[in-house]
Amino acid sequence: MRRRSHLIVTVVALVAVGWSAVTTQPSGSALAADPQAELAKTREKLADAKSAQQSLAATLEQQRSELASLQQRSAQLGSQLDLARAELAAVTAEYERVKSILADVRAQVGEMEKRLEELRGKILALDAELTELAAEIDLRTADLVEREDLLEEHLRSAYERSQTSLLEILLAADSLDEATAQMAYLITVSDQDAILADEIRAIRTELETRRATLKDGRRAIGRARAVARDETKALKIRREELTALEADLAALRAAADVKRAEQEAALNASLAAAGDVEQKIADNERAAQAAAALAAQLQQQASAQAAAIAEAKRRAAEEAARRAATATSSYGFRWPERSYRVTQEWGPTTFQLEPPYTYKGTYYPHFHAGIDFANGCGTKIYSAGAGVVVASGQPLMPWDSGFGVVVDHGGGIQTWYWHMQPSVLVSPGTIVTSNTLIGYEGSTGMSTGCHVHFAVNDHGVWENPRNYLP
C-alpha cells in the first residue's frame, strides 16, 4: 500500500513536469552524445562562413578596382600608340619626341604584362579558394542531411509514443526506478531535440551564406578571366604595333641626324666666320661652368620659394580652367614662344662652341644642354609654366654677357631662357605662369643670331626640354 502511494505521488510529479514532452517527443535512440557542443561548433562554422563572405567581398572589390585600372591603362596605352603614329606621320616629325613617346609606351607594355601576370596568379588563387569552399559546402550539406534525418526520426518516434498513455508506461514498468528513468529520459529527449532543431537552422543559414559566397566568387572569376583574355589579345596587337613604329623611328632618326648635321655645320660656319674661335670656346666653357654653379646655388635656395611656387601653380590652375583648349604637357609646361622653329636640338653635338658635359655617366666633348628655337628678334617669350623667378638679367657675368631668366617650378625643376634682349621684364621673386611675358627674343651673349636657348635643369641635370614640353 505504501509502495503504491509512493508510485502515485511520483506519477503526479512527473505529469506536472513532463507531460507535454511525453506526448510529443521520441525515444531518441540516435541522439548526439553532446548536442550543446555540436550546436556551439555549428555556430562557430556559421561565424566563419560570414567572415569568409566578408573577406571574399573585400577581395572581389579590390579585384574590380584592379580590373578597372588595368582597362584604363590599356586605353591609355592605345592613346599613346595613336599619338606616336600621328607624330611619325607628321611632316614635322621630331625624332627625340617620338623616341620619348615610344620609350614610354614600351615601359607601359612591360608594366601591363606584369599586371596581367599578377592578375592570372590571383585568379588561380581565388579559383583554388572557391574549389575548397565548394568541397566544404558538400561536407556541410551531408551534415545537414544527417541531422534532418535524425530529427525526422525523433518526430516520428514522438508521434508513435503519443499514442501510448502515461499510465501505460507506468504500469508497464517493472519498478518505480525504471518508470522514473523512462520519464526523465523523455524530458531530456525534448531538450536535445530543441537543440538539434537550432543546429539544423544554423547549418542552413551557414550553407546559404557559403553558397552565396561561392556564386559571387565564380561570377567574379568569370569576369576577371574575360578581362584578362581580352587584354592579353589587345596587348599582343599593341606590342606588334610598337615594333612596327620603332622600325619607322629608325628612319626618322636617320633624317634627324641629317638635320642635326646641317644645323651644326651652319653653326660652325658662323663661328668660323666670326673669328677668334678658341677664345670663344674657352669663354663658353667657363660660362657653362658658371651656369652649373648658379643652378646648384638656386637649387639650395629653392625651399625659400615654396610659397611663391604654390601661389604660381594656383594662378596657373585658374588660367588653365579659362584656357582649357591650350596644349600643355604633363608638367603643365607650354612652349615659351607661341610660334617658333627649332634651330638646334638638345644633346651631343659637333658644334665646337658647345662645352663638354657628362650626361648619365657618359662624357661628351661638345654637348648642347638645351634646345634653341627662333621666330625673329623681338618675339615675345613667356614662362614655360608656373613658378617663381629666381634669377634674371645677366647672372653669368663675366663669363657670359647674355641676358636671361631662370624660373623655379618646384620639385627640383628649373627652366632657363637665354640670349634675351636686355629689357627683361621680371626680377627674382616674381610669380609667373605660362601666360606671363618675361622678355623678348634677342642675340645677347655668345649667340650666332636672334633665338632663345631654352634649358631644363632637373635636380642638377640638364635634361632634354622636349620631355617636358607638349
Q: Name, of 58-62, 67-71, 464-468, the range with top average pLDDT.
A: 464-468
The pLDDT confidence band at residue 280, using thresholds 50, 70 and 90, is low
Q: How far apart are CA 214 and CA 132, in angstroms?
A: 10
- 318 vs 212: which has the higher pLDDT: 212
213 pLDDT higher than 90: no
177 pLDDT higher than 70: no
18 pLDDT higher than 50: no
Average pLDDT taken over every residue of the chain: 76
Closest CA to 154 of 118, 194, 123: 194
**Residue 433: predicted pLDDT:** 92
> How large is the average pLDDT for residues 158-164?
59
**Residue 293: predicted pLDDT:** 73
**CA-to-CA dists, residue 5 to 10, 298, 382, angstroms:** 9, 114, 118
201 pLDDT higher than 50: yes
> How large is the average pLDDT for residues 360-383?
92
- 337 vs 3: which has the higher pLDDT: 337
Surface-to-core class of residue 215, CB atoms within 10 Å of its CB (0-12 exposed, 13-18 middle, 19+ buried): exposed
Q: How far apart are CA 81 and CA 75, in angstroms?
A: 10
Question: Can you list the pairs that 6-12 forms with residues at least 24 positions away whose Cβ atoms lie under 8 Å?
Answer: 6/176, 7/170, 7/176, 7/179, 10/176, 10/179, 10/180, 11/166, 11/167, 11/170
3 pLDDT higher than 60: no
419 pLDDT higher than 90: yes
- 315 vs 275: which has the higher pLDDT: 315
Cα 98–Cα 99–Cα 103 angle in degrees, nearest 5: 115
**Residue 248: predicted pLDDT:** 79
Beta strands, E only, 302-460: 341-344, 347-348, 357-359, 362-364, 367-368, 371-374, 380-382, 387-393, 403-408, 413-420, 431-432, 437-440, 452-458
**Residue 34: predicted pLDDT:** 67
**Rounded to 5 degrees, what are φ and ψ at 336?**
-65, -25
The pLDDT confidence band at residue 434, using thresholds 50, 70 and 90, is very high
**Residue 418: predicted pLDDT:** 94
29 pLDDT higher than 70: no
Q: Give the residue carrying C-alpha cell 644645323.
A: 263
**Residue 10: predicted pLDDT:** 47
- 351 vs 189: which has the higher pLDDT: 351
**Residue 243: predicted pLDDT:** 82
**Residue 352: predicted pLDDT:** 77
Q: How far apart are CA 359 and CA 188, in angstroms?
A: 90
333-363 pLDDT, tens digit each: 999 998 888 888 899 988 777 889 999 999 9
Q: Name, of 145-154, 195-204, 458-467, the range with top average pLDDT.
A: 458-467
**String of DSSP letters for 99-142:** HHHHHHHHHHHHHHHHHHHHHHHHHHHHHHHHHHHHHHHHHHHH
16 pLDDT higher than 70: no
- 341 vs 304: which has the higher pLDDT: 341
Q: Cis ω on the peptide bond leading into residue 470 (within 30° of 0)?
A: no
Question: Can you list the pairs that 353-357 forms with residues at least 24 positions away whose Cβ atoms lie under 8 Å?
Answer: 353/267, 353/271, 353/277, 353/280, 353/281, 353/284, 353/446, 354/284, 355/281, 355/284, 355/285, 355/287, 355/288, 355/289, 356/285, 357/288, 357/462
The three grid cell numbers given for residue 52, joined into one nine-digit string: 569568409
185 pLDDT higher than 60: no
94 pLDDT higher than 70: no
**Residue 9: predicted pLDDT:** 42
Q: How far apart are CA 318 and CA 47, in angstroms?
A: 54
- Find the helix or strand (DSSP H, E) in which 462 lies: strand 461-463
Domains delineated in the chain: 2-253 (no CATH), 276-467 (2.70.70.10)
Q: How far apart are CA 467 and CA 100, in angstroms?
A: 7
Q: Which of 97-101, 124-128, 237-241, 381-385 has the lowest mean pLDDT?
A: 97-101
**Residue 48: predicted pLDDT:** 73
322 pLDDT higher than 60: no
* DSSP class of 355: P
- 52 vs 20: which has the higher pLDDT: 52
- 254 vs 421: which has the higher pLDDT: 421
Q: Is the Cβ–Cβ distance between 101 and 83 less than 8 Å?
A: yes
**Residue 23: predicted pLDDT:** 40
Q: How far apart are CA 373 and CA 343, in angstroms?
A: 5
